[in-house]
Each structure stands twice: as structure tokens, then as C-alpha cells.
Amino acid sequence: MLKTNAWLSLGATVLLALLSANARGQDPRMCFPQPEPGPAALPARSVFPRDPMSDLTRSQDYSASRASSYQPQGGPRDNIYVPPTGEEVTLADIQGPGAITHIWTTQRCGGRDLVIRIYWEGNAHPSVEAPIGDFFGVAMGVNAPMRSVPIQVTSEGRSRNCWWNMPFNKSARVTVAATETLKNRDGKEDDGALYYYIDYRVYPKPIPDIHYFHSRFIETDPPARGKPVTLVEAEGDGHFVGVVLGSRNRVGGWFGEGDDIVTVDGKVAMLGTGTEDYFCNAWGLDQPFSSLYHGAPVMEGYKPGHRLSVYRFHILDPVPFRKSFKLEIEHWPWISPIPNSGRDYYSSLGFWYQKTVHRPWLRLARIVSNGPWDPDKGRWHVSGALEAEDLEVLSSASSAQGNPRPGAREVKPNLSGDRMLVFDSGGDGQFSLAVPAEMEGRYTVKVYYPRAPEFGVVGLAVNGTPVGEPVDTYLRKNDLSRPLWPARVHGFPGVALKKGRNEFTFSVKDKNQRATGYQVGLDCIVLEKEK
């Protein structure tokens, strides 16, 4: 009966609504009554929400102040001058308990012309030490805009804002100092002009469970072959909150096939899938962009010499550690099938909080990237090798059009000396090299043959005598292989050599049925004297 009455009541309501709509000239078929909105039932214990906007409605339990570059005597030039001689200039010396909440700076020089340092609680070593541009989110000394939650840079990269919260209980001291590049600018006084605000809070009592803000700059140039690059390393009890990475290309092409590796308290906790993936992008990086927690303010391209700056801030997903933290990344150019084989320049600036001030680290004495750029830095050679491209060509004959001679080709990063000798036989050809031996005797001859889809089957003769079996240097190419793979070593023992010049003849008259050509690549030769 109750259900029937309810339906009758609803029906009467609908009927009245339809009649009312009809009276107003509306189509009664388009009307249906809606309930009056209202909040759901409250929980048993209601908690006042905590967010930046609602916090503005509550009493603020601190005093606010600012240290800045204003001129006490008045006048429009509210700046300081940073001397090019390198000594530290104190921007703020604040007594606690308190917290730095905002830093703004602008200057006419580049992002790696100044170093910013912050000292907590009267310590003699800094807990923050970084080029000023990197600290404000943009690496490589480039002035570029970016917009994230903790850092915003505007005015073509010249107006820098930082919103990291940096608490302290006793004191905070902020300094800047000139680097070598400021010394070598055009000498204008304005080059050392710095304008700044450092906004801070002072609290009535010490901060419980305080975690100190840390940031350390690291350069790696070149990376160690076979080992990943260390971007961030910390000891203590805290949490990791972000990194700014800089890179400059030496190998050419996309540099970032390397995966990120996060180690927490000595245990590998996270393994990634690629450099751009860690920085929340995909399929490489093709243009500059910035967003709340990740971005690439600088992306010049993939050619040697081009620069990159990317950031990833773990504001919503900090990584806690109790004893230690390490963030590494593999250096892996796309052209290479071998991990940790790149030679690009890397810089990193890690951000983290921890309960105690970090132990002293090696002071930042100079910035490597401010020195001359060496495009060949990190070039390596097979120990004791004779580079094929440096040997004298005694003769050559090819059935390919134009009868091409052997020639050097540069391929980074996995060839000894970055180059190899390449020859196209056309299907019936050979060339001879003069190979010097220090003394007469029998040697194990090691020949380093690179592999590629267009490479054929190579025979070797030494002083007119065939040596060993022909070697197939073809490499099947698919989506996961590279156009050229590193050399494979082929050893030929018991080869008789004369003291002085020996004639090594390489012939290509056959190929794998899947090979696309009759070429041969020769990286280097190693002669090992047998006992």
C-alpha cells in the first residue's frame, strides 16, 4: 500500500509539472522533475580540508619577510654586482626557525655564469650547490622559459622563480659566486648585475620532524664505457623529489635509449624503459615543452653539438629512502646496439629532502661545460691496434662502377678511433694494406670486422698465403638491429710475418644470399707475437 501511495504521489507530481509546462507554452514531453540538490550525510567526524585555497581562510602562524637586492640609499638600480673574481657574495643570512618559500632572480648573463649555494644551520658546507640556471630548471647555461609547479621561468628565460619550501630551525645563508665564464665575458659591469628576492617565513617555535632541502650538481663528461651515469646520490633519511638533466650530443642521433635505475637503501627499486620515458615523454623528444611535473625547455636537435635540458619533479610521487638513494641512467645512443656506449656530455641536478644536513661533498670548483667543447672527447681505441684507415693502401681493384678505392668512414661510437676502412668489391675485387711487424716470427693476427646488411664474405691472404677461412660479415637488419654493428674479432693463429712491412690482401668475391652488397669494413688489426 505504501508503494502504491508513493507511485500515486509521483504521478500527481509529474501531471502537475506537465500541466504547468503546457500552461507556459513548453513542450510537456521535454520536462521531467528533478530533486532539489543537497549534500550527502556528513561523516561522524568532519575534518576541515587542507589545501592552498582553504588555508587562506585560517590564521597564519608565522611572520613573512624578504631579503632582496634593494638599494638602501634609494635610486632605481636595485641590484648587486657579483665580482668576476669568484668569491661568494651573501644574498641572505636569515635566523630561524623559518623557511625560504620563494626565490626570484634575474640577470643578463647565462645560466652557468653564477653558482648559487645555500647553507643550513650554520654548516660550513652547502646543502644546495648548483649553477643558477640549473637550479631554476633549465640546464646547459641556456636561457629558456619553463612552467612547472615548483619552478617557473619567464621573460625569455631571464626571470627565474623557485617555490621549493626550504625549512630551517637555526639559520639559512644564501650566496652566489661567479664562474669562469662570467670572467671571460665582454667586461661590461652589467654582466655581473643581479636582482633578487628571497621571501621567507619566521616561525614562533622550532619545526618538528624537519627535513632539509638539498640539491647537488653533477657533471659526467664523458661517461665511463660500460657503466651508467649517476644523476643523483644521497645518504640519509629522506625522499627524492626531482632532477634536472642536461646533455650535449657527440655521437649524433637520438641519445636516450638508456633506462633509468633507482636504487633505494642499496636495493634496486625501479627500472625504466628509456630516457624519454622517465621524463614522461615517448618516442624520443622532438621539440621543447614544459608542463607541471615534466618537460624539456631546451631541445635543439639530434646533431652533434646540440643541447638538451629536461626535468622530472616527483611532487605527487616522491621516492622515500631510509639510508641511501641513487638515480642512474644508461647512456645509450640509438645507433649503438650496446648499452652504456655513448660519449655525450651529461649534467644533473637532483632535488631531495632529508632529516639531517648531508655530509660534505666535493665542492664545485669549475663547470666542465663552460670550457671549450671537444666533439671527440671520449674517443677510444682497441689497445695495441693498428687502425685500418691509417695503413698504407698498396693496391686495389674492384668490379664496382668507377673502380672505387678503399676509403675511411666515420661511425660512432663503437669503432676503434671512430673510423673504419670501407671497400666495395662489386662482387669481384680486393685491396692490399701494408702492415708493419716489429720483428720476424709467428703471430696471432686479430682482424676486427664490423657487420652490416651490405657486407660480404671476406678472404685474407698475408704475403700471398691464404690465412684461415673466409669470414661472412653480413648482419641481418630488423627493427631491433642497427645499420652497423660493432666489429667482431676474428683471430688467425700461426701467421708468419716478416720484420717491417707485410702485405695483407682482403678479397670479397662472395656474399650471403641475404646480403645487399659486396662491401667490407675493416676497423683495425692487432698483431700478437706467439712464443
What does the DSSP assignment read for 399-468?
A: -STT-PPPEEEE-TTTSGGGEEEEEE-TTSEEEEEEEEESSSEEEEEEEEEEEBTTB-EEEEEETTEEEE
Rounded to an integer, what distance in angstroms lies between the CA atom of residue 282 and that of residue 276? 6
Whether residues 434 and 306 fall in one domain: no
pLDDT surpasses 50 at 315: yes
Query: Which of 370, 403, 433 marks a domain boundary?
Result: 370
Q: How far apart are CA 106 and CA 449, in angstroms?
A: 55
Grade residue 38 by pLDDT with cuts at 50, 70 and 90: confident
Choosing from 310, 345, 370, the residue where a domain stops is 370
Verify that 417 and 356 share a domain, yes or no. no
Instruction: Give domain status of residue 403, yes or no.
Output: yes
Mean pLDDT confidence for 136-165: 96
Higher pLDDT: 45 or 37? It is 37
Residue pLDDT, tens place only, 268-286: 999 999 999 999 999 999 8
Burial of 441 (0-12, 13-18, 19+ CB in 10 A): middle
Identify whether residues 318 and 427 lie together within a single domain: no
Write out the three cell numbers for 456.
660480404
- The more confidently predicted of residues 105 and 23 is 105
Do 204 and 270 lie in a common domain? yes
* DSSP assignment letter at 196: E
User: How far, in Å, CA of 391 to CA of 358, rounded?
Assistant: 55
Q: Which of 348, 311, 318 has its CA nearest to residue 241?
A: 318
pLDDT for 471: 97
Flag whether 48 is in a domain.
Answer: no
pLDDT tens figures, 414-427: 999 999 999 999 99
CATH of the domain at 225: 2.60.120.1390
How far is residue 427 from each of residues 162, 277, 403, 507, 520, measured CA to CA in Å? 65, 45, 12, 10, 11
In which band, very low, low, confident or very high, does the pLDDT at 433 lie, cut at 50, 70 and 90? Answer: very high
Q: Is residue 196, in this structure, part of any structural domain at all?
A: yes
Residue 390: phi and psi, rounded to 5, are: -95, -10
Please provide residue 211's backbone torsions phi and psi, each rounded to the nearest 5 degrees. Answer: -125, 125
Provide the domain count of the chain. 2
Boundary (domain end) residue, out of 370, 404, 419: 370
pLDDT digits (tens, 9 = 90+) for 69-123: 998 887 778 999 999 889 999 999 999 899 999 999 999 889 999 999 999 999 9
Do 477 and 399 fall within a single domain? yes
Average pLDDT, the chain: 91
d(CA 309, CA 299): 7
3-class DSSP string for 27-96: CHHHCCCCCCCCCCCCCCCCCCCCCHHHHCCCCCCCEEEEEECCCCCCCCCCCEECCCCCCCEEEEEEEC
Domain CATH number, residue 503: 2.60.120.260
Report the percent of the chain where pLDDT is more than 70: 91
Q: What does the chain come to in residues?
A: 531
The answer on 519 and 414 residing in a single domain is yes
Give exposure, 168-202, as e/b (b: 16+ Cβ within 10 Å). bbebbbbbbbbbebbbebeeeeebbbbbbbbbbbe
- 445 domain residue, yes or no: yes
Of the two residues 367 and 32, the one the predictor is more confident about is 367
Residue 411 within any structural domain of the chain? yes
- Dist. CA 5–CA 3, nearest whole Å: 5
Q: What number of other Cβ atoms are within 10 A of residue 449's Cβ?
A: 22
Q: Are residues 260 and 286 in the same domain?
A: yes
Instruction: Please tell me whether residues 392 and 336 are part of one structural domain.
Output: no
Same domain, 410 and 318: no
Examine the pLDDT at 192 and tell me if it is beyond 70.
yes
Is there a single domain that holds both residue 150 and residue 269?
Answer: yes
Say if 393 falls within a structural domain.
Answer: yes
Do 427 and 351 sit in the same domain of this protein? no
Domain ranges, residue 416:
386-529
Domain check: are 365 and 403 in the same one? no
How much is the pLDDT for 20? 54
Amino acid at 45: R
Q: What is the pLDDT of residues 472-482, one digit of tens each?
A: 999 887 665 67
Residue type, 254: W
Question: What's the number of CA atoms in the CB half-sphere (13 Å) around residue 430?
Answer: 15
Tell me the backbone φ, ψ of residue 50, rounded to 5 degrees.
-115, 110
Cβ-based neighbours of 124, under 8 Å, separated by 6 or more: none
CA angle 361, 365, 370 (to 5 degrees): 125
In a domain, 7, yes or no: no
Q: Which of 238, 510, 497 is nearest to 386 (CA)?
A: 497
User: What is the Cα gyration radius of the chain?
Assistant: 34
Rounded to 5°, the CA angle 475-521-398 comes to 110
pTM, 2 dp = 0.87
pLDDT tier for residue 190 given thresholds of 50, 70 and 90 = low
Query: For residue 90, is it within any domain?
Result: yes
With cut-offs at 50, 70 and 90, classify the pLDDT of residue 226.
very high
